[in-house]
Structure 1
Amino acid sequence: LNLKGSKNLIKVPGFTATRNIEILDLEGCTRLVYVHPSVGVLTRLKLLNLRGCKNLRSFPTKIGMESLEKLILSGCSKLKSFPEIDGKMECLLELCFDGTNIKELPSSIGNLRRLELLNLKDCKSLRSLPSKIGMESLEKLILSGC
């Protein structure tokens, strides 16, 4: 589902009736404030792109997207928190938080065994990293500007 650049989109509706979505591209939806909790449990979703959603304040409090490979929250400068990862997210390869206002990462991030890229560039509010980052596949950890 490509909603890229939808300037008037303020909130993402529920996806309980459309659970088979594999791509949700909301890049550049600059007025987007809220993402419905049902997005956090879309088990077939492979890409969730929220890059540049600079007014995004709310992300689902429960995430367990089993098929997710790439989560992009780059430039979501009003996003202050990220939830614990509930369930198996063993497919996640890239996690981009660059330019967010996130203060801390959930401890469950250490369970992302296949994660290759963790981008925290310019996360100026980030206080610390979880004590356990046991990501065997991590190839790139970007912390510049923190």
Structure 2
Amino acid sequence: MGASGWQSQQDCAFTEQYYNQKPQWSWHWLQQHLRRQRRRRRRQQQQQQQQQQQQQQQRQQQQQQQQQQQQQQQQQQQRQQRQRQRQQQRQQHLRRSNMMFMSQYRKKLQQHTCPEAAAPTAEGGSLQCARRAWNSAKRTSASLTAS
């Protein structure tokens, strides 16, 4: 018999001797050990999966927050733009109505033949005349701007 045969015989004898001493305990211990390893592996896998899921959720939440912030910024910019447009429209409207009113006022002053058409004074007649022209111009320009 060669060296390898002797080695295997020796191994065999050792295992027989080992199992003869405590056969049930060692088999039971081995099964428990394997079960524990499996459980440990399962737990580790579950923990890894949970961590990955949490990381994905965090990433998604961050993306959602960024999107919400972008939307809020866009909405704010749109609001500011609308406000600017409204202000410009108001100013244009005021300019137009003021110009219209002044042109109407000059016409009415000429129609009422006020003595100082360009700049009415505080004298009785010219002041009343200017007031009539003013009120008439106001009505005319209001009706013109409304249409």
Q: TM over 0.5: same fold?
A: no
Larger helix fraction of residues: 2
The structure having more radius of gyration, on CA atoms, is 2
Larger strand fraction of residues: 1
Q: TM-score, normalised by structure 1?
A: 0.16
